[in-house]
Amino acid sequence: MRRIIASLDVGSNTIKLVVLELYKKCVNVLAVNEVPSGGIKKGIVINQDLAYEALEELFNRTKKTLDLDINEVVVNVSANDLETILVSGEVLVNDLDNPVVTPDLISKVLKNAAEYKVSDNRMIVNISPIKFKVDDMDTINPIGLTGTKLKVKAVLNSVPKKNFYGILSVLSKLNVEVVDYSISGQADYYTYHKDKQDNECGVVINIGCDTTNVSILNKGIVTSSSILDIGGASIDSDLAYVYNISKNDGKLVKEKIGLAISTNASIKETYNLTNKNDELITVNQKECSLVIESRLKEVLEYAKKEINNLTKKPISYIIITGGISELKDFNLLIESIFGSEVILGSIPIMGVRNNKYSTCIGLAKYFDYKLRLRKEEYSAFSDDELKSLTRHSHNGNKVFDKIFGYFFEN
């Protein structure tokens, strides 16, 4: 079965929907769309009508791309007020004639570990096994081993139900089912992680539009997280104030000529626009980059301080992502603040080569990882729909000219 996953990232600035085909370590991008957010603040739905309009437009655009309805998605959940606890559980291997650990038994022992561990007003977003034990033998993957008892130690993440139930309600009205969900810190890790990081303690920092998410991971599992009320939009506001222009124009200046660090900026590189007084002004790269650098330093210093608040363990890596990290010379700025252990996120997948898609990519990869752990098959499309997809593609349908039909290692 072709494993196709539709991934939805609900952000305060934009909502993104990416449809991917995953095969081993390769990713095939079938569709990418995004729309301005409506009725969403800090990843939580605050106005269902506006959120419905935005999501309806997003799913309609994707249908035009693929000529297929998207009825199932994986989605990110706001990590606001995240709680993390260690849990354990155990179950008996009941089949005495064939006492083999199966994927169903893994699901059963994880359910046992999570049972009655969170209050009624909270929901579990992740339960990540640290290790299993089959009788007296420790293992990372017990499938296929024989024994009489299966035990697990795991990390359980939970958030208030309000973080998720708003988007769940809107998607239900659109006849879209949520098949899996996770917090963005866990998703971002799966976008960029290397195998060696699965045995280390590290950090993922995602600088969004209005907020910055700082997540601590130990052996690839989120153990704590914090959301800072500052993000890339603060730069747009700063530029708008300095040059007496709109916030949208501030964003435009940032994207057209701005650098993350002013060292390499030039006064000869300029951009002309009209301010709020209808006066033609010229913004030079050196001046605007000084404004950008000042605010970015503040964001990154806040994040650095928050790392120290969240953990006292030695940090082996720091991954930084989010759309603002695409600014030129961003790598120079983060190295000056965090040192050599910092890693600037990079997504080498055609069609989504931008860190703003980090959470979407990671959501799909994390879901794929869990499917493989349980040895389950999955596709967002039925066999008939997949045949239709292939047939239209071969017929040269102009819609399918947008599909990226090649696999790229990541």
Which domains are assigned to the chain?
1-71+347-410 (3.30.420), 83-161 (3.30.1490.110), 233-297 (3.30.420.40)
pTM of the model: 0.90
For 95, counting Cβ atoms within 10 Å of its Cβ (0-12 exposed, 13-18 middle, 19+ buried), the class is exposed
The residue with greater pLDDT, 159 or 373, is: 159
Measured distance CA(62)–CA(82) in Å, rounded: 32
- Residue 94 pLDDT exceeds 90: no
Q: What is the pLDDT of residues 30-83, one digit of tens each?
A: 999 999 999 999 889 999 999 999 999 999 999 999 999 999 999 999 999 999
Q: What is the pLDDT of residues 260-300, one digit of tens each?
A: 999 999 999 999 999 999 999 999 999 999 999 999 999 99
C-alpha R_g of the chain: 23
Measured distance CA(70)–CA(178) in Å, rounded: 11
Mean of the per-residue pLDDT values for the chain? 91
Closest CA to 6 of 18, 21, 22, 16: 18
pLDDT above 70 coverage of the chain, percent: 94
- Residue 97 pLDDT exceeds 90: no
Q: Which one-letter amino acid corresponds to residue 167?
A: I
Q: How many CA atoms lie within 13 A of 36 on its CB side?
A: 2
The residue with greater pLDDT, 382 or 336, is: 336
**Tokens linked to 19:** 């449809």
Per DSSP, the three-state class of 371 is helix
Q: How many CA atoms lie within 13 A of 116 on its CB side?
A: 2
Q: Residue 75 forms beta bridges with which residues?
A: 8, 181
Q: In the prediction, which pLDDT does 392 show?
A: 52
Q: In the prediction, which pLDDT does 23 show?
A: 83
Q: What is the pLDDT of residues 343-374, one digit of tens each?
A: 999 999 989 999 999 999 999 999 999 998 88
Closest CA to 216 of 126, 317, 146, 301: 317
Q: Residue 45 forms beta bridges with which residues?
A: 40
What backbone phi and psi angles, to 5 degrees, belong to 16? Answer: -115, 140
- Residue 129 pLDDT exceeds 70: yes
Q: In the prediction, which pLDDT does 245 show?
A: 98
239: Cβ contacts below 8 Å, ≥ 6 apart: 245, 249, 250, 251, 253, 254, 288, 291, 292
Q: How many CA atoms lie within 13 A of 347 on its CB side?
A: 28
pLDDT above 90 coverage of the chain, percent: 81
**DSSP states of 8-39 as a string?**
EEE-SSEEEEEEEEEETTEEEEEEEEEEE--S
Question: Over the range 171-192, which residues count as b (16 or more CB within 10 Å of their CB) and which as e?
Answer: beebebebebbbbbbbbbbbbb
